[in-house]
Structure 1
């Protein structure tokens, strides 16, 4: 396995920013931020009706910073509104408002060729992910993938009350597609480690399957392809680290959450060694 090699897949239209960055480290723990990006290609942007601010509100900005201390990182800069890597291939391009939280994404429907190009990126991503994970599996016998996302809790507007904390934990752990009994020795210490961390003087509220259940494509892909050796944990951070309406980050909160997540890496490595 190659350690500390950075692989960049660039925009085929010539954008200077990479679509996907994969950094390989010396550990069986992988952090991913596949919705961190907001980039869309020029051709796609020309057909979009959705305002940038509305699009970015439904993305997961700054999540790449939350995994910045993970030994192996996978960050995607391409917007989910061009192709959503956390949905099954047949639903990965939003073509109707029902697929995109009621938002009218398109001024003009993308052509069949544009949709095929987006889906080819979906295919390429999962091909690359399988290759990376298979390499880690060969070296360590297994791996943990921490699938980081974020979610909105002020959907009624910037001045309205936020969602009730009863239904919106600081961190929601999704376990829908995993064999929960098999991976309990890994997931439970992970939750415990995060719950003991603090944000602005208080303990983080970390609960499982409250706001989300972890039904995304990436965790499903891992558990289907590596049923005995791969544990994928869907981690949804409430957007307490930014203003979800203005898009302004709170770098202090980001730093604290980054440290909290980094503290789980040795916990996960140790727990994984104990799983037969």
Structure 2
């Protein structure tokens, strides 16, 4: 673990700016001094946090793990001091978030409501669409995605992992044959995505289970959840959505356990936009906390 918050603060600045010079300007520190501090932190942790190249500082896997924890600590500190923050720390203006409808329906409403309460001068817009957003055309200021894009001038930050299981309504399970193995699923009605409208390979859950036919389908994960709740069949449900679907429970929980991740995508040109960066930090930390809270209740 890092020795103190100051170490984590410097680490976060370098990770976000991806350079010593950029982080040094933000922190008002000499890049050489900052480089020594980073090296000292790596020595203390006995891991390499960055891959250094002429293009800048890129996070290693260990660095990415530390960034998740450091951002969570940063968010906790921000929330602890929110009541005494100076008015100048308040965000204002409009920020638009693009998001797939799972996060838009089950996570962003409560997360953005809390952020909005802390920043009353801020207008938050949530665009819920089951597709990949084009930030180059400025469809949104930032977007949540289920896979990390590898093209375009984008900043990509992993927010958190999340989990999914097969699920069905108690009413459905009471009226149909028991489901004891994956092979038993072939005798049941399946709820899922419309196959030719799956916009990301990470969402093609049923193909991995060998289930080619989807009896009741929607391009919306929220609609799928409500179909399942109404006794329509068996389908894959986010663990964080289960608390919103009373009467629905996991099926084959030990045999079928899926893990995916949310990523926050921003345009590279916004790297030095302090306002968007502050909002992105608030959003990421709050989403991590909300996923953990809801999954613990599932």
Scaled by the length of structure 1, the TM-score of the pair is: 0.31
Scaled by the length of structure 2, the TM-score of the pair is: 0.29
Q: Which has the higher strand share?
A: 2
Q: Which has the higher helix share?
A: 2
Q: Which has the larger radius of gyration?
A: 2
